[in-house]
């Protein structure tokens, strides 16, 4: 489930508000126009699809793998484990990991083995 929006990393672009298919986030204050960070308003609606993380340009979100329970993990713990932005890097959506966009090796797994 979505656990946290890092207040230090978030620039208030509010892309997560738009892209979350379950409408979990809610803008605050002036929203995007004023660079105000959104809040997690409907946490239990989160379907743990990780797509908000994939689309966050600032690596400011963390989705815990637990689909049913809130873990309460802290920003410090996520940062210490190097987990901010880890999904975005894996799919090649960061500048430094572009080669991962075409790294899909499924064709090897489908071959007879």
Partner 1 sequence: MANVPGAPVSSSAASLDLETDVLILGGGPAGTWAAIAAATGGARTILADKGFCGTSGATAASGTTLWYVDPDPAKRAAAKASREGLGGHLADHGWMDRVLDRTHAAVGQLADWGYPFPRDADGRERRVSVQGPEYMRLMRRRVKQAGVTILDHCPALELLVDDSGAVAGAVGLQRQKGGRWTVRAKAVVIATGGCAFLSKALGCNVLTGDGLLMAAEAGADLSGMEFSNAYAIAPAFGSVTKTLLYQWASFTRADGEAIPGAASKGGRSVIARVLTTEPVYARLDRAEPELWAAMRQAQPNFFLPFDRAGIDPFTQRFPVTLRLEGTVRGTGGLRLVDGTCATAVPGLFAAGDAATREPICGGFTGGGSHNAAWAMSTGHWAGLGAADHARALGVRALGNGTRTLRRAGGAGLQDRPRGGHGAAVDAGTLTRAVQAEVFPYDLNYFRTEEGLTGSLGRLDRLWADAAGAMPASADTVLRVREAAAMLATARWMYRSALARTESRGMHRRIDHAALDPAQRHLLTVGGLDEVHVSTRPAPVRADPVRLDRAEAGRELAA
84 part of the interface to partner 1, by CB under 8 A: no
72 part of the interface to partner 1, by CB under 8 A: no
Helix (H, G, I), strand (E, B) or coil at 28: coil
Q: What is the DSSP code (8-state) at residue 67?
A: S
Q: Residue 3 and residue 108: Cα distance in Å, rounded? A: 35
Candidate ranges 5-13, 32-40, 79-87; the one touching partner 1 (CB under 8 A): 79-87
Task: Give the CA-trace dihedral at 105, 50, 5, 22, to 10 degrees.
Answer: 150
107 part of the interface to partner 1, by CB under 8 A: yes
Tell me the closest approach of the beta carbon of residue 11 to partner 1, in angstroms.
Answer: 20
Residues near partner 1 (CB under 8 A) are: 17-23, 45, 47-51, 54-55, 64-69, 81, 83, 86-87, 90-91, 93, 100-110, 113
């Amino acid at each position: 489930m979505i656990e946290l929006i890092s207040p230090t990393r978030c620039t208030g672009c509010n892309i997560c508000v738009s892209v979350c298919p379950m409408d979990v986030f809610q803008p605050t204050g002036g929203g995007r126009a004023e660079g105000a960070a959104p809040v997690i308003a409907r946490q239990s609606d989160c379907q743990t699809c990780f797509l908000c993380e994939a689309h966050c340009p600032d690596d400011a979100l963390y989705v815990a793998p637990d689909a049913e329970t809130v873990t309460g993990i802290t920003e410090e713990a996520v940062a210490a484990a190097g987990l901010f932005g880890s999904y975005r890097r894996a799919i090649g959506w960061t500048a430094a990991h572009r080669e991962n966009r075409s790294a899909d090796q499924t064709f090897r797994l489908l071959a007879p083995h």
